[in-house]
Amino acid sequence: MMASVPDLVKARERIKELRQRIEEHNYHYYVLDQPLISDREYDALMQELISLEKAYPQLLTADSPSQRVGGGLREQFKTVQHPQPLLSLNDVFNEGDLRDFDRRVRAITGRTVAYVVEPKIDGLSVALTYSDGVFTLGATRGDGRVGEDVTANLRTIPILPLRLKEAVPYLVVRGEVYMAKNAFARLNAEREQAGEPLFANPRNAAAGSLRQLDPAITASRKLSLFVYQIIAATGLKVDSQYGALELMAKLGLPVNPYRVLAPDLDAVLTEIRAWSPQRRAALPYEIDGLVIKVNDLALHSVLGATSKAPRWAAAYKFPAEQATSRVEGFILRVGRTGTLTPTAVLTPVRLAGTTVSRASLHNEDYIRAKDIRLGDTVVIQKAGDIIPEVVEVLPEKRSGEEEPFVMPKQCPVCGAAVVRTPGEAAYRCSGGLACPGQVMESITHFASRGAMDIMGLGPAIVSQLLEAGLIKDVADLYYLKEKDLLKLERFGPQSAKNLLEALAASKDRPLESLLYALGIRHVGARVAQILARHFGSLERLAAAGEEELTALPDIGPRIAASVQEFFAEPRNRAVIDKLKEAGVRMTAEAAPGETGPLKGKTFVITGTLPGLSRQEAETLIQQAGGRVSSSVSRKTDYVVAGEKPGSKYVRARELGVTIIDAAELRRLLQQ
């Protein structure tokens, strides 16, 4: 049922008001750490917003606080029963298979049929429900019968229309959520910087991003969508698959522009042959084949389906482009966080449009599992068409001279011991910032865009500076002099001036950028932001205990341990001191504890404060800039007296110190 106009207007106003209030409380809670209302009151506001947004989905926007951490957080996804099973497709790998498929179709229908050819998008399948033209439910395919309710996450995909161009009473469409090649590359680069495991291909990345409990993470992942099938509908007339695609496009749904109506199988084959590897490589997203569908929808019911797949469609899978080459050597790359990644050096070969001379071997376990040895002939392919990898070894090509890979005991760059963290596949160099390999990577990261954003300081210049002995760590950058730079190759007065200016400007980067720039393991841009907002200064973060860290949203024991390890390392502390001396900003704009309404005031608490534990009161006072002391003296500014105050109360009266109650304290805090 459509809502009446006055209801909708009222709902819109109330939603706006609720969002403003919740955002304000979020700010007080997360940023200032001074909640103005109890958790219960906050939850009530959020619940009201969520139920209004449920009742009026057209008013829900991706920027609503209900979509954020906390508000949008669910323990797990609800399950959704699909209106009809979301089937899979039968794969075919060559023209012969496809002719067999066409023969079966003609045998059952008794005539020549026309087909639609569509790209087979490599992502994950979803079912989207629109009621009265409004997007109300989105589910993953799941086991085909029952999927997971990922509506909130799907709403964050910009191309997904929250409302159709026409208020069709009921429409369920099927489509594919995918991650474009460039978004995938960027995400993996960020994960590498943060020392997090990489996604093997865009499909895994898309699936991992959509099945996040926090829609804000999904929103940051740059997902996209194509729809390709009408699953159920009322109030629509469609009699062909081609017509369905056109109709969905007309309703504003994203339909892939490549769709070809082929009058018979020969036309389909001509179409398939037109897909060269280059054409496929030029698409901004991955496709792993073409889908061939009978065009006439009436024939779909005639042909029917097996329990797994319809008989009216087939997935033609592109052959994976492979090549053979020889392993000429193993090299180890030292990452910013010290992870040693083995890479195979190959005899150069052409593969999917590029010359390949390296293949990632991921880690030692991978090499063992595939038994890859020096001198082996190997089959390689590009995983998701991007990163070349070794598919298999051809043992029949072995001469017996091949040598197994051995992880060195010492870092090939700095000679420090190589260690393996229990429970992880990766080996790491233990040299820390003393390892030039790690230093090179960590300085380049420090200067990069999302970090300190030092324009003009790329890998080539970092390596020049290191080689000239002008820098040993990131802090040395801020002590560079013009005369030092002028000694370097390719440095003139102008480029030296530019670099020094960029360095000076970077001193005022926000705390979260500095935190990210320091390259603490597992602290990516997002975690850095959470930490900066909560702690307000590097000093406070360095002093934080595990409990305070893990109490924060999205911070688990792994991140907490990594933060504590980083600040416990004397070499890291020395670098931070040097940065501080150089004038690099170490605090957020308004650091809790350093400014605030109670700045410079000393408090003593006595008795039980109504509605406030002793610990809470102390934290609130400290975060508003005040100090809490345990004994009353002439220097005490306020004694906060609760029920049953003790001797401190008596002492305060003797000394004439101002005595206040909990309500008065709250008033001071809110000033």
204 lines the binding site for ligand IVH (CB under 6 A): no
Number of residues that bind ligand IVH (CB under 6 A): 14
Answer positive or negative: Cα dihedral of 371, 373, 375, 381: positive
Q: Which residue, 174 or 362, has its beta carbon nearer to ligand IVH?
A: 174
3-state SS of 255-304 is CCCCCEEECCHHHHHHHHHCCCHHHHHHCCCCEEEEEEEECEHHHHHHHC
89 lines the binding site for ligand IVH (CB under 6 A): yes
> Site for ligand IVH (CB under 6 A): which residue of 66, 229, 337, 438?
229
> Site for ligand IVH (CB under 6 A): which residue of 125, 241, 339, 572?
125
Query: In 10 A of CB 558, how many CB atoms?
Result: 11
**DSSP β-bridge partners for residue 379:** 324, 392
> Site for ligand IVH (CB under 6 A): which residue of 62, 207, 315, 345?
315
What single string gives the DSSP state of each residue in 575-589? Answer: HHHHHHHTT---B-S
Q: Which residue, 105 or 346, has its beta carbon nearer to ligand IVH?
A: 105
* Residue 312 Cβ vs ligand IVH, minimum distance, rounded to whole Å: 8
Q: Which residue, 86 or 393, has its beta carbon nearer to ligand IVH?
A: 86
Residues 253-282 close enough to bind ligand IVH by CB under 6 A: none
3-class DSSP assignment, residue 62:
coil
Residues 20-79 close enough to bind ligand IVH by CB under 6 A: none
Q: CA-to-CA distance for 394 and 321, rounded, in angstroms?
A: 17
The residue nearest ligand IVH at its CB is 125
* Residue 469 Cβ vs ligand IVH, minimum distance, rounded to whole Å: 55
| R_g (Cα) of the chain, nearest Å | 31
Please choose, out of 3-11, 118-126, 546-554, 663-671, the segment that lies near ligand IVH by the rule CB under 6 A.
118-126
Q: Which residue, 87 or 470, has its beta carbon nearer to ligand IVH?
A: 87
Please choose, out of 74-82, 86-94, 162-170, 492-500, the segment that lies near ligand IVH by the rule CB under 6 A.
86-94
Contact between 363 and 310 under an 8 Å Cβ cutoff? The reply is no
Q: CA-to-CA distance for 541 and 559, rounded, in angstroms?
A: 13
Give the pair of three-digit tokens for residue 418: 């190589």
What single string gives the DSSP state of each residue in 522-540? Answer: T--HHHHHHHHHHH-BHHH
End-to-end Cα spacing for the chain: 48
Given the residues 78, 120, 165, 317, the one annotated as active site = 120
Please choose, out of 9-17, 85-93, 214-222, 611-619, the segment that lies near ligand IVH by the rule CB under 6 A.
85-93
Dihedral, 476, 523, 437, 576 alpha carbons, nearest 10: 20
Q: CA-to-CA distance for 411 and 421, rounded, in angstroms?
A: 15
* Residue 206 Cβ vs ligand IVH, minimum distance, rounded to whole Å: 11
3-class DSSP assignment, residue 474:
helix
313 lines the binding site for ligand IVH (CB under 6 A): yes
* Residue 121 Cβ vs ligand IVH, minimum distance, rounded to whole Å: 4
Q: CA-to-CA distance for 355 and 346, rounded, in angstroms?
A: 11
181 counts as catalytic: no
> Site for ligand IVH (CB under 6 A): which residue of 8, 37, 73, 87?
87
* Residue 170 Cβ vs ligand IVH, minimum distance, rounded to whole Å: 19
297 lines the binding site for ligand IVH (CB under 6 A): no
> Site for ligand IVH (CB under 6 A): which residue of 310, 353, 415, 597?
310
Contact between 118 and 268 under an 8 Å Cβ cutoff? The reply is no
Please choose, out of 68-76, 247-255, 308-316, 645-653, the segment that lies near ligand IVH by the rule CB under 6 A.
308-316
* Residue 159 Cβ vs ligand IVH, minimum distance, rounded to whole Å: 16
Q: Which residue, 175 or 626, has its beta carbon nearer to ligand IVH?
A: 175
Q: Which residues of 315-325 are buried (b: 16+ CB within 10 A; e: fewer)?
A: bbbbeebebeb
* Residue 57 Cβ vs ligand IVH, minimum distance, rounded to whole Å: 25
Query: In 10 A of CB 190, how many CB atoms?
Result: 16
* Residue 275 Cβ vs ligand IVH, minimum distance, rounded to whole Å: 14
Q: CA-to-CA distance for 157 and 121, rounded, in angstroms?
A: 17
> Site for ligand IVH (CB under 6 A): which residue of 88, 109, 430, 595?
88
228 lines the binding site for ligand IVH (CB under 6 A): yes
Q: CA-to-CA distance for 127 and 124, rounded, in angstroms?
A: 10
Q: Which residue, 185 or 303, has its beta carbon nearer to ligand IVH?
A: 303
Give the pair of three-digit tokens for residue 493: 């007065």
Q: Which residue, 228 or 478, has its beta carbon nearer to ligand IVH?
A: 228
Distance from the Cα of residue 546 to its chain's centroid: 24
**Could you say which DSSP state residue 39 is in?**
H
* Residue 307 Cβ vs ligand IVH, minimum distance, rounded to whole Å: 12
> Site for ligand IVH (CB under 6 A): which residue of 60, 92, 291, 292?
291
Q: Which residue, 125 or 151, has its beta carbon nearer to ligand IVH?
A: 125
* Residue 156 Cβ vs ligand IVH, minimum distance, rounded to whole Å: 20
Q: Which residue in the block uniquely carries the two structure tokens 């700010």? A: 27
> Site for ligand IVH (CB under 6 A): which residue of 53, 102, 132, 176?
176
Contact between 335 and 279 under an 8 Å Cβ cutoff? The reply is no
Give the pair of three-digit tokens for residue 384: 């998701």
120 lines the binding site for ligand IVH (CB under 6 A): yes
Please choose, out of 32-40, 54-62, 83-91, 554-562, the segment that lies near ligand IVH by the rule CB under 6 A.
83-91
Which is it for strands 223-234 and 170-179: parallel, antiparallel or unpaired? Answer: antiparallel
Query: In 10 A of CB 622, how many CB atoms?
Result: 17
Kindly list the catalytic residues: 120
- Which stretches of the chain bind ligand IVH, using CB under 6 A? 87-89, 118, 120-121, 125, 176, 228-229, 291, 310, 313, 315
